[in-house]
Amino acid sequence: MAQAYMTETGNGGSDPEPSASRFRRRLTALRGDRGIWRRGLVLAGIALLTSLIMIFHADLPNDVGNLGSLTETFLPWLGLAVPVLFACAVYRTSATALIAILLTAAVWANIFGGLVFDKSGAGGNLMVATHNVDADNADPQGTAESVAKSGADVLALTELKSGAVPVYEKALADTYKYHAVEGTVGVWSRYPLTSSRPVDIKMGWVRAMRATVTTPVGDVGVYVAHLPSVRVKLKAGFTANQRDNSAEALGAALAAEPLKKVILLGDLNGTMNDRALSEVTSQMRSTQGAAGDGFGFSWPAQFPMARIDQIMVRGITPEASWTLPRTGSDHLPIAARVTVTR
C-alpha cells in the first residue's frame, strides 16, 4: 500500500511545470495575440494626455477658472496616474498602453525626478525658517516654542493675529534678541535688524515686509510675505486674481532691492510651477528645488499635498532645505541652511 502511494505521488506523478517553461509558453501566446496592440487604446490615450499636460502645462489656459495655475499647483501628483494605468494595462495585456505609460513615467521622472532624491549638503553659515502660524491657532505659545527649537538664525512668521503677537514676542524673546512686526507678518533674528518697513503688495493692509539682517558676513535683505489665499469654487474655478496681482507687486519690490544678497520667506499660496508667481520665481532661487530632501510639501499639515510655503534666495547659495515638525497650524514650518559670502 505504501509503495503504491509513493508511486502515485512521487515518481508516477507529473512534475510541476518549471517557471521558465511557463514564461516561454506565455510569451509565445502573447506573440500570437494580435489584439495586444489593439487593446488598451483608451488607456494609452489617457497616458499620452497626462504626458502632454506635464510637458505643456505652461500653455494651459488661465482664462477659464485659472485652470493652468490649478493644474500647476498639484502637477507632481499627476505621477500617481502611472501605477494606476500600468496595473490596468497589465490586466488588459495591452502593449500599446504599456509603451504609452512608460513614456509618461519618463516625462514625470525628467521633470520631477530630481526632487525625489536628497540634494542637501552639510554646509551653510545661516539657517532660516518660515511658518504660517494660522490666525486661528489655538496654541500660539506651543507653536512659538516649537519653531524656536529649530535652531534658525532668522525666523519669519506669517498670518499673525494682532492679539497673539505679544504671545509670540514673549515666547521667542529668549532665542531672538531682535524682531520686527509689520501688520500680519514678522521676522525674528539672532542678528541685528534694521530698515524694517512694510512692502505694498496691493492688499489694502500689510501682509509683506522687508528688513536688513546684519549677519557676521554682511547685510542680507530679508523679505517676508503672505500672498492672498486662493480658492477652488464650483462656478469661478481657481480664484487667484488677487494672489496674482500681489505676486506682481512683490516681484517689483524684489527687483528694486538694492542689496545683492536677498532672502524671501513666507506663504506665497503657490508652487514654483505656478506661472502666476513668475514675477517672483524668475529672479529668485528655491532652496527646496536646489537643495531639498524630497518635495517638501507644507500644506495642509494633516496631509501635505503642495509646497506653497517658500524659502527663496538671490546671491546666496542654498545648502539644505526641509520641513519642520507639525505645530498647531494648518501649515508645516519649513527651514533651510544657506551660505552667505562677503
∠ Cα 239 240 244 (to 5°): 160
Q: Give the tens place of pLDDT for each residue, 137-155.
A: 999 999 999 999 999 999 9
CA separation for the pair 155, 186 (Å, rounded):
8
Residue whose cell numbers read 547659495: 317
The closest of 284, 334, 264 to 306, measured between CA atoms, is 334
Return the percent helix, strand and coil in the chain, to nearest 5.
40, 25, 35
CA separation for the pair 43, 85 (Å, rounded):
7
The SS3 call for residue 306 is strand
Q: What is the pLDDT of residue 38?
A: 85
In 69-192, at which residue ranges do the beta strands (DSSP E only) sit?
126-132, 154-158, 178-182, 185-189
Query: What's the first-to-final CA gap in the chain, in angstroms?
Result: 94
CA separation for the pair 98, 173 (Å, rounded):
59
Tell me the C-alpha to C-alpha distance, in Å, between residue 45 and each of 34, 57, 78, 222, 316: 20, 17, 15, 47, 44
Q: What is the pLDDT of residue 25?
A: 57
Q: Amino acid identity of 217?
A: V
The closest of 89, 84, 74, 78 to 36, measured between CA atoms, is 89
CA separation for the pair 222, 156 (Å, rounded):
9
pTM for this prediction? 0.85
CA separation for the pair 214, 323 (Å, rounded):
25
Residue whose cell numbers read 509670540: 168
The closest of 217, 189, 210 to 340, measured between CA atoms, is 217
Per-residue DSSP letter, 18: P
Q: Amino acid identity of 185?
A: V
Q: Amino acid identity of 111?
A: I
Q: What is the pLDDT of residue 7?
A: 42
Pick out the chain residues at pLDDT < 50.
1-10, 236
Q: Give the tens place of pLDDT for each residue, 101-140.
A: 999 999 999 999 988 889 999 999 999 999 999 999 999 9
Q: What is the pLDDT of residue 238?
A: 55
Residue 35: other Cβ atoms inside 10 A: 11
Residue 332: other Cβ atoms inside 10 A: 23
The closest of 157, 151, 118 to 137, measured between CA atoms, is 157
CA separation for the pair 255, 242 (Å, rounded):
20
Q: What is the pLDDT of residue 4?
A: 45
Q: What is the pLDDT of residue 127?
A: 98
Domains (ranges, CATH) in the chain?
A: 8-116 (no CATH), 126-339 (3.60.10.10)
In the numeric block, which cell numbers belong to residue 162? 494682532
The closest of 144, 135, 212, 204 to 180, measured between CA atoms, is 212
The SS3 call for residue 127 is strand
